[in-house]
Amino acid sequence: MVNNLLGILSSTEILVVFLFMIFLGWTYYSRISNDLKKLMPDKSLKLNLWQLKYLRIATRFGLLAEACLALLLLPILRGLSVFRILGIQFEASVKYHTWVGTAMIFFATIHGASTYLVWGVSHHIQHEIWKWQKKGRIYLAGEIALIAGLVIWVTSLPQIRRRKFEIFYYTHHLYSVLLVFFLFHAGDRHFYTVFSGVFLFSLDKLLRIVQSSPKTCIVSARIFPSKAVELILPKDSRMKYMPTSVIFLKIPAISHLQWHSFSIISSSRADQHIISVIIKCEGWWTSSLYDLMHAQLDKDADKMKGIPVAIEGPYGPASLDFLKYDSLLMVAGGSGITPFLSILAEIDSTTSKTRFPSRIQLVYVIKKAQDFCLLHSISHMLLSKSTEKCHLKLKLFVTQETQAGVGIRELLNEFFKVKSLQLNTGCPSYVVYGPESSSWMATIVGFCSIFFLSFLILFNHTIIPSEKRSRLSKEKTPSWVVDLVLIAAFVLALACSTLMAIILRWRRVKKGITPTPQKEIKPLDLSSAETTNVLDEHEVHNGGRPNFKDIFDKFKSENCGPNIGVLVCGPESMKESVASACQWESECFKLCAKRTEPCFTFHSLNFTL
């Protein structure tokens, strides 16, 4: 299903969302029906019957928000994520995180606003709103948690996130305030419902901090005329990653706090010692990076300084089943070309004849001709003759330029404008090792669980007296002292597990790794007759956007095989257009379709997170 509001939804996603809504409805109905049967007047608030019922209804909306909070953090796990094992891309996981977060804020707002309404009607709002009880539910803590959640949600709206990324990034760290005050508001018994997500997210966060230390240095760079930069970083030759993987970068020379994600364009099969990313410089952080790299061009070699960079990742899919189609139709817009560069690099480096599609068509949509230089790393594939391994055809659409007679040969001149830069001069360089293995991750999670339970039992017997424990067990909600005990045990368990991760990490780190120079791309030879024939196969269209229906029809008419994979990466409007065309053209779900007709299968990729 393609919807302008919800985006692109698969049948599996629709089914899971439907089942989750049924679960929430059933949970709410079972709880509220039981509450109304056992409804007792509250002498302290002096509420009427309808007011008491409405208060109970509002309270149970808090349980729905609690159920959403239990799942909120699971989709955005990186090192400990189980979604990749299930074949779910991180882009889809972030979408699920957004859905669950929106539902949580919706239910929490109803819960809080309805409670305020009842307090206002009963003239208790001034007394209750600032109440911090020694026992039971702490109303003020719930108010603080709700305000923190609303701030996070408002700054996550696309209008703010895309234009003011820094505001979105920094306010999102209020999640710690939300979780701590939710604990004080709901009590530890309700907090155990969301504890698994908080536990895994906190441990995953600490492991990622350990993984990004120590910093490495940029080995070399390429500066493109389209105001883009390719960074070449050293990596351990044993580290393997899948195409379309993503790494997170932090450059202290620009910001000590901001992390940004970028798609890897290199292949671990072909490039044993380096890992490369292309960064299109548009916002403040990326423009600062471009200025930093461009300033190095005017310096002498002895005056250049190493540029430290912290790296987290790479994170990618567990498998690449979409590369086993008979043919591939890849559609990219602007910076969305980066995941496809890694796919093409992987295909070019493999010796297998059956693992990858034999026919690939790349539809690349750019605004200006100078953006064509982003294809610099696959220039040899564009000029090479088709082999039994792969046949690559390029359809280029330049939307904002209408010059007549500009073909692929003229656009290849943009490659000569790319400037190379050697940067690592006397900088202590550590290679990128990547995340720890799954077995070690599972071991650390197991030890952290044992540490937490041990500390919790220890504090429960030493800090809380036995007579107090017996009295608290009869209360409907525990004392806030127990909440502090839970936080202390949780923090100490994370500290012990982090120490284990640091020891494990430093055993792998090797100092003094010799920087590996970037792989030089051979100069282009445009004079040979073979190259001329290859260039004639590629198409360049100026001054218009692609008609995906025509592209699908032509591609289907070629000898492409019955199974065609459609990969798209770019703006959301482009993804929706391609998904609609794929849905329209595919014969898989038509009753009158023949089994020999080509079947289009849609996959959405993302070049940043």
Answer whether residue 511 shows pLDDT above 60.
Answer: no
The pLDDT confidence band at residue 491, using thresholds 50, 70 and 90, is very high
The pLDDT confidence band at residue 389, using thresholds 50, 70 and 90, is low
Give, in order, the Cα–Cα distances in Å from 285 to each of 166, 258, 339: 9, 9, 21
Identify whether residues 262 and 326 lie together within a single domain. no
Instruction: Enumerate long-range contacts of 84-90, CB under 8 Å, 24 or more apart.
Output: 84/315, 84/316, 84/317, 84/318, 85/318, 87/317, 87/318, 87/319, 87/321, 89/244, 89/317, 89/604, 89/605, 89/606, 90/246, 90/315, 90/606, 90/609
Predicted confidence at residue 472, as pLDDT, reads 47
Give, in order, the Cα–Cα distances in Å from 40 to each of 44, 52, 112, 137, 520: 12, 9, 22, 19, 79
Residue 146 domain-assigned?
A: yes
Dig out the tokens for 20 from the structure: 């989750």
Residue 484 domain-assigned?
A: no
- Quick one: 353 exposed, middle or buried, by C-beta within 10 A (0-12, 13-18, 19+)? exposed
User: Tens of pLDDT along 20-46?
Assistant: 999 999 988 888 888 777 777 666 666
User: Tens of pLDDT along 165-204?
Assistant: 888 888 999 999 999 999 888 877 888 889 989 999 999 9
Residue 483 domain-assigned?
A: no
Identify whether residues 308 and 325 lie together within a single domain. no
Q: What are phi and psi of 333, to 5 degrees?
A: -130, 120
Answer whether residue 473 shows pLDDT above 60.
Answer: no
* DSSP3 helix / strand / coil % (the chain, rounded to 5): 50, 15, 35
Q: Do you find a cis peptide bond into 478, omega within 30 degrees of 0?
A: no
Identify whether residues 6 and 105 lie together within a single domain. yes
Identify whether residues 66 and 144 lie together within a single domain. yes
The pLDDT confidence band at residue 512, using thresholds 50, 70 and 90, is very low
Predicted confidence at residue 591, as pLDDT, reads 47
Mean pLDDT across 419-444: 77
The pLDDT confidence band at residue 149, using thresholds 50, 70 and 90, is very high
pTM of the model: 0.82
**Amino acid residing at 449:** S
Identify whether residues 45 and 177 lie together within a single domain. yes
**Sheet harboring 359-366: ordered strands across?**
539-542, 391-398, 359-366, 327-333, 563-569, 599-604
Determine the Cα–Cα distance for residues 389 and 356; give it in Å rounded to an integer.
8
| Cα atoms found within 13 Å of the Cα of residue 478, Cβ hemisphere only | 21
Residue 249 domain-assigned?
A: yes
Predicted confidence at residue 78, as pLDDT, reads 85
Tell me which DSSP letter residue 283 carries.
S
- Can you tell me whether residue 390 is helix, strand or coil? coil
User: Tens of pLDDT along 279-334?
Assistant: 988 888 889 998 888 888 777 665 667 788 999 888 887 666 777 788 888 999 88
Q: How many domains does the chain have?
A: 3
CB 276 within 8 A of CB 230: yes
What is the torsion angle, in degrees rounded to the nearest 10, for the CA atoms of residue 382, residue 383, residue 386 and residue 391?
10
Structural domain containing residue 306: 216-319
**Winning range, highest mean pLDDT, from 234-248, 318-332, 532-546:** 234-248
Dig out the tokens for 513 from the structure: 């790794």
Predicted confidence at residue 318, as pLDDT, reads 66
CB 388 within 8 A of CB 354: no
Tell me which DSSP letter residue 129 carries.
T
Predicted confidence at residue 106, as pLDDT, reads 95
Identify whether residues 304 and 328 lie together within a single domain. no
Last residue of a domain, one of 265, 286, 319: 319
Q: What are phi and psi of 599, to 5 degrees?
A: -115, 125
Identify whether residues 73 and 142 lie together within a single domain. yes
Give, in order, the Cα–Cα distances in Å from 307 to each of 86, 215, 253, 420: 37, 10, 7, 16
Last residue of a domain, one of 137, 169, 201: 201
The pLDDT confidence band at residue 276, using thresholds 50, 70 and 90, is very high
Tell me which DSSP letter residue 84 carries.
T
Determine the Cα–Cα distance for residues 530 and 360; give it in Å rounded to an integer.
20
Answer whether residue 530 shows pLDDT above 70.
Answer: no
- Can you tell me whether residue 513 is helix, strand or coil? coil
Share above pLDDT 90 across residues of the chain, in percent, rounded to a whole number = 17
Mean pLDDT across 242-257: 89
Q: What is the CATH number of the domain that holds 298?
A: 2.40.30.10
If we measure between CA atoms, which residue out of 201, 195, 196 comes closest to residue 182? 195
Identify whether residues 267 and 344 lie together within a single domain. no
Dig out the tokens for 599 from the structure: 């079947």
More confident residue, 137 or 337: 337
More confident residue, 241 or 403: 241
For helices 188-211 and 49-72, angle between their N-to-C axes, nearest 10 degrees:
20
Last residue of a domain, one of 291, 319, 347: 319
Predicted confidence at residue 105, as pLDDT, reads 95
Residue 489 domain-assigned?
A: no
Predicted confidence at residue 474, as pLDDT, reads 45
Residue 410's contacts (CB-CB under 8 Å, 6 or more residues apart) are none
Mean pLDDT across 124-130: 69
Identify whether residues 315 and 328 lie together within a single domain. no
Vertex 278: Cα angle to 273 and 279 (nearest 5): 135
The chain-wide mean pLDDT, for the chain, equals 80
Cα-Cα-Cα-Cα dihedral sign, residues 162, 163, 166, 167: negative
Identify whether residues 52 and 92 lie together within a single domain. yes
Residue 500 domain-assigned?
A: no
Share above pLDDT 70 across residues of the chain, in percent, rounded to a whole number = 82
If we measure between CA atoms, which residue out of 110, 95, 132 comes closest to residue 64? 110
Predicted confidence at residue 278, as pLDDT, reads 92
Dig out the tokens for 465 from the structure: 């007296």
Q: What are phi and psi of 332, to 5 degrees?
A: -130, 145
Q: What is the CATH number of the domain that holds 368?
A: 3.40.50.80
Determine the Cα–Cα distance for residues 512 and 592; give it in Å rounded to an integer.
65
Mean pLDDT across 400-423: 77
More confident residue, 586 or 416: 416
Strands (E), 164-263: 216-217, 220-224, 228-234, 246-250, 260-263
Residue 472 domain-assigned?
A: no
Residue 226 domain-assigned?
A: yes
More confident residue, 4 or 339: 339
Identify whether residues 47 and 167 lie together within a single domain. yes
Mean pLDDT across 345-359: 73
More confident residue, 301 or 8: 8
Answer whether residue 16 shows pLDDT above 60.
Answer: yes
Answer whether residue 142 shows pLDDT above 50.
Answer: yes
Residue 333's contacts (CB-CB under 8 Å, 6 or more residues apart) are 364, 365, 366, 569, 570, 571, 574
Dig out the tokens for 171 from the structure: 């306010």
Identify whether residues 275 and 347 lie together within a single domain. no
